[in-house]
Structure 1
Amino acid sequence: MANKKIKQIAIYGKGGIGKSTTTSNISAALVDAGYKVMQVGCDPKSDSTNTLRGGKYIPTILDTLREKNNVKLDEVVFEGFGGIYCVEAGGPAPGVGCAGRGIITAVQLLKQHRAFEELDLDYVIYDVLGDVVCGGFAVPVREGIAEHVFTVSSADFMAVYAANNLFKGIQKYSKSGGALLGGVIANSINAPYAKAIIDDFVQQTKTQVIEYVPRSVTVTQAELQGKTTIEAAPHSEQAGVYRRLAEKIANHTESKIPSPLDVKELREWAAKWADHLLALETGEVRSPAAAI
């Protein structure tokens, strides 16, 4: 069999932003479209693949390695919805060691076993915690393991702050063959002002929005059943949004170096938006996207 090009993608986002929800629905939509997909959870909470496996947790690579030296692929790779291969890197015991080490170890183990080739994958999607782009969490970017990086962000300041930090990491490693940015997945975008904030942020940082994902009760309902929206409500409007997003990521070829704001610029940008939202609230301005 000729070696095919496996597309490796990293999806970052701060904790609680809906990164794993988004990633799992992308994986489910891709597998539904006929691709072979592996999702690698790179968050110490080890819950990235839960909704692909009926809410069940799987043994993590770090936990398994703590118990034995020689680990077989089928001890850490589990099948989920539609045949998605699910992997959880895991984290250290609470209060001990570096949380990023799980990612480094997971990548080494999967490479050592030639997992991607053996399983004949089309896509490997890394779901990475993006609050702190420290050594371990930066691995998919720094080592150029992932070809394209996307970040999930809402219009909340801390989510934008985390995205801007990730941009700094991408910019830093871009000169030495690191992964580049595909764009921002705008999550929980229901109010017009939220869309306007994200649109302005991507303009300031010279990147782009890949898709706007509204907040939806369908997602909550599906997750309470331990499922993705694609599995639990395949014909819903929200599943359509995730399918569109997955298709855009599948067809994405050209990633770029973002232009992050420095801390002072980011604070000034946020302060302008704070004033603008107040003016919007009091009726002084009508349009959320009016020049600010």
Structure 2
Amino acid sequence: MNAIIDVAGQPEGKSQTQIIAIYGKGGIGKSFTLANLSYMMAQQGKRILLIGCDPKSDTTSLLFGGRSCPTIIETSSKKKLAGEVVSIGDVCFMRDGVFAMELGGPEVGRGCGGRGIIHGFELLEKLGFHQWAFDYVLLDFLGDVVCGGFGLPIARDMCQKVIVVGSNDLQSLYVANNVCSAVDYFRKLGGNVGVAGLVINKDDGTGEAEAFAAAVGIPVLAAIPADEDIRRKSANYEIVGRPGGRWAPLFEALGEQVASAPPLRPNPLTHETLLGLFKGETVGRGVTLTPATESDMCGSAVLTRPSLEVHYEGA
């Protein structure tokens, strides 16, 4: 799998592609961030490929005004049954200079999402990934899931750097810390992937995400405010990262940061240290873990029953 995104092996004369994996808790705003970031970078003259690697297949929906595009895995299955070959036009679609596609995944209960990711990248290779000429390839990965497929970019050096998206809440920073732990673990094994930084989405100014970034040793690349204008437009599948628009400076600056931020080795936090970033009343510190007993489990006194074990003479 290393060869799938081996940018060092690109054809002579082709500029090196920056491949960046974006991780975060489900629903934290990765797709929103990526849609607007990729759109802005394309308007700045960059060649951008956005690949959704979430089984929900919703990375590109905002980019395409709410429309879903056919996924690589589903299209490949249909074409195979029909005896046909998948072409680029079947799975890759464009809007205002952004190229975008969805890997897809299995239906609920019908397969492994991580295995689907692996299969999707195998299909990308068959479609000629090595020959594609992009300045940036942005990969949208679900950070909640820890199985192998979702960790491919980090474990197999398939990208140069990782960006985490989080907010000022414990669960999203817990996921961000897990991603930092994975990067640190594979760096110990000789890997090269680093964390470029944190994007704070729905920032309400309470500061926990900023404190987290400082504690693990990564920069804050952008803080997207919890603003009603952004919420409303995103709900209507509108791009807010347009040149000349109200939010243009924010996404222009984020694009520059994404391009230039170096891959760093983070210092992941222990769970207790992560909890320490929040006020006690926020995360319920002071609660004691009381061990349960057999009586508690049975709802009454435990009856001692005679053993059914058979003892043989001379045994």
- Measured after TM superposition, the shift of residue 216 of structure 1 is 2.1
Deviation at 1:218, TM superposition (A): 2.7
Name the SS of the counterpart of 2:241 in structure 1. helix
For residue 262 of structure 1, what is the amino acid of its counterpart? T
Structure with greater Cα Rg? 2
Structure 1 residues 1-292: aligned runs within 5 Å: 2-69=13-80, 70-80=85-95, 82-115=96-129, 117-118=131-132, 120-174=133-187, 175-191=189-205, 193=206, 195=207, 197-231=208-242, 234-252=243-261, 254-267=262-275, 269-270=276-277, 273-274=279-280
What is aligned with 1:288? none
Identity across matched positions, percent: 32
Distance 1:190 1:148 in 2: 27
| Deviation at residue 102 of structure 1 after TM alignment | 2.9
1:188 aligns to what SS in structure 2? strand
- The alignment's C-alpha RMSD in Å is 2.1
Q: Deviations over 1:202-247 (max 9, x none)?
A: 222122211111122232333244232124xx43332321221111
Tell me by how many angstroms 1:144 deviates: 1.2
Letter in 1 for 2:94: E
Give CA deviations for 1:60-114 in whole Å, capped at 9, x if unaligned. 111112213332222111112x121111011111112111223222222222322
Task: Check the 8 A contact 2:168/2:204 in 1, yes or no.
Answer: no
* Pair 1:187–1:116, CA change in 2 (3 A): farther
Is the 8 Å Cα contact of residues 105 and 113 (structure 2) preserved in structure 1?
A: yes
Given the two structures, how large is their TM-score scaled by the length of structure 2? 0.79
Gaps of 5+ in 1: 279-292
Q: TM-score, normalised by structure 1?
A: 0.85
Are the equivalent residues in 1 in contact too, given 2:73–2:116 (CA < 8 A)? yes
State which drifts further: 54-63 or 209-218.
209-218
Gaps of 5+ in 2: 1-11, 285-315
The structure carrying a bigger helix percent of its residues is 1
The alignment of Structure 1 onto Structure 2 pairs a total of residues equal to 268
- 1:133–1:166 CA contact under 8 A, matched in 2: no
Q: 1:217 to 1:275 in 2, by over 3 A?
A: closer
